[in-house]
Amino acid sequence: MSRVTKFAARDPGPAARMSGFMAHLRDNGLRLGVGEAELSLTALTHVQASDPNEVRHALRAVCSGCAEDAARFDDLFDAFWLNGGRVAEKTMPAQSPTADNVHSSRNAKGLDAASGAGSATSPDGDDGGAAEDGEGKLVASVVQATMKKDLRDLVQPEDIAEAQVIARKLGAALHDRRSRRRKQARKGDKIHFRKLIRQSLSTGGEPLQLPKKQRPDRPLKIVTLCDVSGSMTVYAQVFLAFIAGLMREDETTDAYLFHTRLVRIAEALRDKDALRALGRLSVLADGFGGGSKIGVSLMQFSRTYARRFVDGRTVVLILSDGYDTDRPELIADALAALRKRGCKIIWLNPLKGWDGYEPVARGMAAALPHLDLFHPANRLADLEALEPELRRL
Amino acid sequence: MDWTTLQTAMAEQGYIADDDLAMAVHLALALGRPLLLEGAAGVGKTEVARVLSQVRDTQLIRLQCYEGLDAAQAIYEWNYQRQLLSIRAAAEDGETGRAVEDRIFSQDFLLERPLLKAIRQDQPPVLLIDEIDRADEEFEAYLLEILSEFQVTIPELGTITATSRPIVILTANGTRDLSDALRRRCLYAHVGYPDRNTELSILQSRCAGINGQLAGQIVGFVQSLRKEDLEKKPGVAEMLDFAAALMGLGIADLTTDPKVLQATLATLLKTESDRFNITTEIAQRLAGKAA
């Protein structure tokens, strides 16, 4: 058993240590607020605060919120409180400039840069050795620069207008018919008793009108993830026009690009001027046409943005050819995690339109079991043809 | 009551809780916070609430969640049939509109559903909100409001404040992720499959007459079965069924009759492919190891 951490003499006391511990947990990705710090201190008054083991159990109950947190808690606890008898110089770790609740695609780096401490969310994954040493990095950045394209060359305003029409149709097709709640409606299958009683009061208990209630159709939210790596460049034109159309049609739609990292483009695409939107996008899409890390990007998505924007009433639309430089299991894991949010996942693959195409790209094969719909699409017309499929979903 | 006393009290009622869980339950009681229990099906999450209500000698109020669960089923509803009859009767008696209205929107005509019932008890009850992850997000939001304020507003009647704050236990088994807001409101404990010794004491406390050797075999067998690649791993409840089945058949040793063992596996393996994958040979090998 490791010995208890000694705290410096100038350390102001238990409350400061506890907030130091909270900051330590927060730095390691646990989502805690001031409320938890307060609750933790209160909790310690109900146990033997001098017994590390009791404190460990107590703080685990207060501070962890899911199975992963609970599993990691032991190590985090040991690192802070049982530091082999070493003196902790600073009870409060340095403030990290986290702006977790601000989601703007103006901050092109997205969440990964902001909440980087602790967990392995580095976009390079664990085997990105080549990019790590000095020379490799230099080469990579040169390649990136030459690959930089102006999206305005790719997408014409007419395309967007056309895509908008299609996007409207698709949006209409995507209605969640599963709502089990009933709402008041003019025509409905059940009587709205509460209203009936109220109304019948004025006619002496004679229910002259029968108000009804009905299960309403709930529109689905669409989240698009578009692959803009090198192998997808030729199709990006169509897809970006489609996404732009979708965004202009439906305010709730959310959109992301990924190549070697994930970028949220929803904010930029909402610009009223379609071409200016694409201009802003070009700035964000630095690295466009480069390599692709589908698995890492999807995993990053499911760990960060998906927690807030994806729920059971969301359709996640992935536009990619499935050629990935990482292990295919990463894609499968990421999709499985995403599915747990209760969303539907549609994968549109431009290559599937080719004669004799088989999903042999290992990434694609790994993804298949997790998809609700796997469909070809490389022209706007193909997207239009999706409509009946989406209706069935 | 400190947490070890609680642990012992729960053990007396037949629930063997590990330190983590006992501490979480203790803190939930001490701090008056809801407790969220997560874990696979059949590890005894629901049982915690039942045992706790016995330990505290109080009522257990249970709300089973499902998709589309709404306020009318979870909180309250007016008794419409009675209201209608009452209005008609009042019309015959010549009662005026205002008086009728006051009467039919009074407590007498209110049907309490679990959440409202839980906050209107004299003694704080244990409120079990089972499988919260099955309910949809709207309900989660509504629940948050009740869990923080412990009051319910009924438009016709006004606000009903809690006469006693219930002890709230929520269970989830991960069919979908819960919102951060709900997780933050609750204390948390993850209930896993018990280790060998814990499971053995669970078995012995539940099946009092079981012989020591068989109990060891059963627990060893089930524990190694969980390590196999199964679609649905057998939980504690299944293990108890398995033990009951063996005792009912008068089996004293797992390894004696492969056929009977294979037949009783029906209590442990609940999907076709699991049944198919655990062949007689594998079952025998596992039983042999456990013996």
How are strands ordered across the β-sheet holding A183-185? A183-185, A212-214, A190-191
Residue A364 CB-density burial (10 A; 0-12 exposed, 13-18 middle, 19+ buried): buried
Helix residue ranges, H only, chain B: 3-12, 19-31, 45-55, 71-74, 80-93, 97-104, 114-119, 137-149, 180-185, 196-206, 212-227, 236-248, 258-264, 272-277, 280-290
Quick one: which H or E segment has residue A221? strand A221-227
DSSP structure class, residue A289: T
- Superfamily name and number for B3-75+113-190: P-loop containing nucleotide triphosphate hydrolases (3.40.50.300)
pLDDT tens by residue, B15-36? 988 889 999 999 999 998 999 9
Per-residue pLDDT tens digits of chain A, which is 393 residues long: 456 777 776 667 788 888 889 998 988 878 888 888 899 999 999 888 888 889 999 999 999 888 778 888 988 898 888 876 676 655 555 554 444 444 444 443 333 433 333 433 334 434 433 333 333 333 333 344 334 445 555 566 677 777 778 877 777 777 666 666 777 788 878 888 888 888 887 777 778 888 888 877 777 788 989 888 877 777 777 787 788 778 777 777 888 888 887 888 887 777 777 677 777 776 666 666 677 788 888 888 888 788 778 877 788 989 888 888 778 888 888 898 888 888 889 888 887 766 666 666 777 888 888 888 888 876 777 777 778 877 776
Asked if A369 reaches chain B (Cβ–Cβ under 8 Å), the answer is no
Question: Measured between alpha carbons, how far is residue B23 from residues A159, B5, B36, B51, B166 in Å?
Answer: 61, 11, 13, 15, 19
Tokens of B167: 């002890």
B126: distance to nearest CA of chain A, Å?
19
Tokens of B149: 């304020």
A64: distance to nearest CA of chain B, Å?
6
- Is A197 in Cβ contact with B83 (below 8 Å)? yes
A47 contacts in chain B (CB < 8 Å): 2-3, 23, 26-27
Question: Measured between alpha carbons, how far is residue A376 from residues A328, A355, A371, A373, A385 in Å?
Answer: 20, 11, 13, 10, 10
- Is B100 in Cβ contact with A58 (below 8 Å)? no
- If one compares B237 and A10, the residue with the highest pLDDT of the two is B237
Question: Measured between alpha carbons, how far is residue B200 from residues B148, B165, B211, B213, B236 in Å?
Answer: 39, 36, 12, 11, 10
- Is A54 in Cβ contact with B177 (below 8 Å)? no
Tokens of A7: 């705290």
* Residue whose pair of structure tokens reads 């029968």 in the numeric block: A210
Nearest CA in chain A to B71: A181
pLDDT tens by residue, B95-145? 777 788 888 888 899 999 999 999 999 999 999 999 998 887 778 888 888
Q: Most distant CA pair in chain A: distance in Å? A: 88
Tokens of A105: 């695609």
User: What is the model's pTM?
Assistant: 0.71
- Is B176 in Cβ contact with A57 (below 8 Å)? no
Nearest CA in chain A to B174: A340
Compute the half-sphere exposure of residue A261: CA atoms within 13 Å on the CB side of its CA.
Answer: 18
B184 contacts in chain A (CB < 8 Å): 31-33, 35-36, 65
Strands (E), A1-113: 6-7, 87-88
Probe site for chain A from B21, B29, B31 (most A CB atoms < 10 A): B31
Q: What number of residues does chain B have?
A: 291
- Is B184 in Cβ contact with A194 (below 8 Å)? no
Asked if B2 reaches chain A (Cβ–Cβ under 8 Å), the answer is yes
* Residue whose pair of structure tokens reads 């979708």 in the numeric block: A246
